[in-house]
Chain A
Amino acid sequence: MSWTIALAGNPNTGKTSLFNALTGSNQHVGNWPGVTVERKEGRFRSSGDEVTVVDLPGIYSLGAASLDEEIAADYLLRNRPDLAVVVADASNLERSLYLAVQMLEIGTPLVLALNMMDMAAERGIMIDVERLSALLGIPVVPTVARKKEGIEELKERITRSLRENSAPSLSFALPYGERLNPLFEALETFLGERQELIPGLSARSAAVKFVEGDVAVLAAAESSGVRNSMDELLAEKGRKVEEELGYDLQTAVIERRWGFVSGVTAESVQRDLSLKARLTLSDRIDRVVTSRSLGLPLFFLVTWAIFRMTYALGDPLVELLEGVFESFGEWTGEFFAGAGFSEIVSSFVQDGLIGGVGSVVVFFPHIFILFAFIALLEDSGYMARGAFVMDRVMHLMGLHGKSFIPMLMGFGCNVPSMMATRILEQPRDRMITLLVLPFMSCSARLPVFVLFSGIFFGSYAGTAVFSLYVLGIVVAVLAAKVLGSTLFKGESSQLVMELPPYHVPSLSMVLRHAWERGFLFLQKAGTFILLSVIAVWVLASFPWGVEYGSSESIVGRIGQILAPVFAPAGFGFWQAAVALFFGFLAKEVVVGTLGALLGAGEAGLAAALPGLFTPLSAYAFLVMTLLYVPCVAAVAAFRRETGSWAWTFFMIAYTTLIGYGGAVLVYQGGRMLGLG
């Protein structure tokens, strides 16, 4: 038979390792519908059964207080998997059990995988597996996913449970005590006479979730028109309970659930106190890593090292790939020309197709290397510490501590840095970070800055380049502040983040993660980039017969129309407009395009540019290059990470407006100061 099961668990419980151990290489990575939270699916066979495993996001509860929790709760309730495996950290059983108990309450058949048993044993924690299984009424299997221990037993237990009962288990009822029970019963009776609030959710579970203020259940009650009656019922019966307990009902329900979980833990876990008293290695590392004196310097050192290594290791590979694609393009161009195809075909293949594919593939090395490092940070547990020490600074900008990593990566290339925003869990933090990332001056902008500064600012060239980097940061900070207090006003930014114990990261997992990210980029963003490159080729080559990108081509004509728009910024000639247009492909192309259009080549620009630009208008042009719409690959990554065309167009429009505004401000301001 074939079954579908869900894999759930707290973050940092080795859930990914277990997923990999269960499904091997038989995996598919995608997104949850409508959101850009990663969804992994895999398969395994055990004694003739085919089992599909859906990996749920790492969560602490089903409370729908975050996007991840919402997705998990929604999947469990609406898709009703045949069974769910909860991965528990054996060395911190209590927290994992809280989630397991919530899943039992909504009637999900469970198998508990007690993972990291080896770590627990090291810390003097002994778990009575049978006792635990009896207390919860579910099968419990000890595992060590990293060492692939207990995986076969787990598979066997899963398929056995699947065959034994495929109906949702409704037998579990958490003892909420004599104070809360009458309240639940009243609501249960009320709901029992009506249609289920959420299909498959029993009246009892719905009553409990209503009392604890579960967002999804409240919304369901609202839409089925029973919210008011239920609120009245709650007000009538709940007040007295609240008085007796001394706190509100939400606290009461969650407190009782924790109480039950603590009870189960106390009965099934034994601690060797002699081991516990010792400072764990993790604590000792933390004393240094998050200390007042070393915390920040260490974090800067780590991120700087990652930044340097990503580009030091990636750049030669990128050059290699660029070279390969260039010669391959030339070769095929000649081949097509030689084979008697018309020039239009060979140009399309060489500049459009192969050039397009090339411009996608060159991002792969950086993405792969950066994500290998990010996986290393996350898997080892350092990422949370980094966010912890940086949170104060980032919070001033209205962002989360973890936003620092993508922001820093942005100086290298906006594309991987946009993908790196996945480390942020809250949609608000991710969105703001994504929106301000384009202002971080990526390395592709540097050649433009260097060339212009060298020509126009002489010995101040270095200062000019540096000032542009600073300007990018300032604009990003201001934009984050403004966005946070306007478009994202009222959406709270929370930290509440677990600092997991340190782990020795697993190399295979790190590489796998990096490969998945790189591959996803090629797959999803690649299409968009390729199409854009082809579109630009069409605009630059047609009407057929004109010189590529010249004033007679479509793009040249558009440039002539647009040129007056740029006059207030000091560069109102069509070559500048066309160069900026091509800069959309990749910002460094601005230089090459200007060279070609001025008929000077890159080398002759030093002589040709002063004829068009004054130092002031040159600086305005650089400000525009820095701030206006990022390159097509970054836009594609943005679209992929937000999953929204509306936000993508907003980003294109607002960055371009800020860039234009900035350029005009510099030029006009400079003229007023008499610098023109």
Chain B
Amino acid sequence: MSVSSRIEDYMETIFAIEISGREATVTDLANTLGVAKATVVAAVRRLVAASLATHERYGTLALTDEGRRRALDIYRRHEHLTFLFHDILGFDPDRAMSIACAMEHELDEKSEGRILGFVDYLVKARREGRSWVKDLLTAMGDERRLPRPLSMLPDGGRGVVTRVTAGGLLRQRLLEMGFVPGTEVCHCSTAPLGDPLVIHVRGCEVALRKTEAVSVWICPVTGEDSAGASC
């Protein structure tokens, strides 16, 4: 039986209240989740119907053993994701929380296990003061490095080729003209009618149509870390 992510949020919230040593009420849930009491009542009814919770009339809520088991999964995933995005990747707590809320429902045991392994390893390495951790985190924190098609590089912009997604003869031509991973290219200028573009690659200037440039992926670079390709 699959439970909708909204219902999972209810279970998670009841669980969070339970582990703080209190008993959850409809009012608590409505306040925490920011919804109307009537909405909560309807959701609780569904939880009860699925034997995931018990509800005394006008009284307190409690998760069943099965409900608690499932709530634990969601709660734990939420915690792990929040840790990853806040403590490791450095997002502010609210942002980390909402990313975690969106992702936790898609995670399963296996993917959670992998993330946990990764986070654990990283935390351990950071504790031991390994230098690569800093490099890794800096690299991950550099948002400019997100790859994009070459056609989106502004006039005068520079980038490093990451891959060529064109197929067939165009692919071969592009690769053999020097658009291979690791090559720094520069978008020198644009034709008067907005297409094609002039790209500086490996010592020469090549005209590419935008439809061709879209298939070359690059990571933009800035002045400091440029290897020198310029127009």
Identify the A interface with B (CB < 8 A).
60-61, 63, 65-66, 92-95, 98, 213, 246-247, 250-251, 254-255, 258, 283, 286, 290-293, 295-296, 384, 387-389, 391-393, 395, 492, 494-500
Q: Is the CB of B206 within 8 A of A290?
A: no
Interface residues of B in 166-196 (CB under 8 A from A): 168-178, 180-183, 189-196
Q: Is the CB of A258 within 8 A of B193?
A: no
B203 at the interface (CB under 8 A from A): yes
A286 to B205, CA, bound (A): 11
A389 touches B206 (CB 8 A): no
Residues of chain A within 8 A of B55, CB atoms compared:
none
Query: Which single member of A60, A65, A391 contacts B196 (CB below 8 Å)?
Result: A391
User: CB distance A250 to B208 under 8 Å?
Assistant: no
Which of the residues B169, B195, B206, B208 comes within 8 Å of A492, measured between beta carbons?
Answer: B169
Q: Give the chain B neighbours of A295 by CB distance below 8 A.
A: 191-192
Looking across the interface, which residue of chain A has its beta carbon closest to that of B164?
A251
Complex Cα spacing A92 to B202, Å: 8
B209 within 8 A of A: yes
Interface residues of B in 195-213 (CB under 8 A from A): 195-196, 198, 202-209, 212
Closest to B167 in A: A492
* Contacts A/B (CB < 8 Å), 10 sampled: A65-B176, A92-B203, A94-B178, A251-B164, A290-B192, A389-B192, A391-B209, A495-B209, A498-B205, A499-B205
CA distance A65 to B168 in the complex (A): 9
Contacts of B168 in A (CB 8 A): 492
What is the distance, in angstroms, from B165's C-beta to the closest C-beta of chain A?
10
Q: Are B203 and A95 in contact (CB under 8 A)?
A: yes
Residues of B within 8 A of A254 (CB): 175-176, 180
- Determine whether the beta carbon of B178 is less than 8 Å from that of A258: yes
What chain A residues lie within 8 Å of B177 (beta carbons)?
Answer: 60, 496
A388 touches B172 (CB 8 A): no
Q: Which of B169, B189, B190, B192 makes the CB contact (< 8 A) with A494?
A: B169
**B174: which A residues are within 8 A, CB to CB?**
496
Residues of B within 8 A of A93 (CB): 203
What's the nearest-Cβ distance from chain B to residue A243, in Å? 14
- Please give me the residue from chain B that is nearest to A254 by CB atom: B175
The digit string for B118-151, where 1 denotes a CB below 8 A from any CB of A, is: 0000000000000000000000000000000000
The smallest beta-carbon distance between A281 and chain B, in angstroms, is: 14
Contacts of A292 in B (CB 8 A): 190, 192
In the complex, besides A495-B207, A500-B204, 5 extra interface pairs with C-beta distance below 8 angstroms are A63-B173, A251-B163, A251-B164, A286-B189, A391-B209
B41 within 8 A of A: no
Among B175, B180, B198, B208, which residue has its beta carbon within 8 angstroms of that of A290? B198
Give the contacting residue for A393; candidates B171, B193, B202, B203; CB below 8 A.
Answer: B193
Is B231 interfacial (CB 8 A cutoff)?
Answer: yes
Given known pairs A95-B178, A495-B208, A498-B205, the reply for A391 and B170 (CB within 8 Å) is no
Contact B176 A92 (CB under 8 A): no
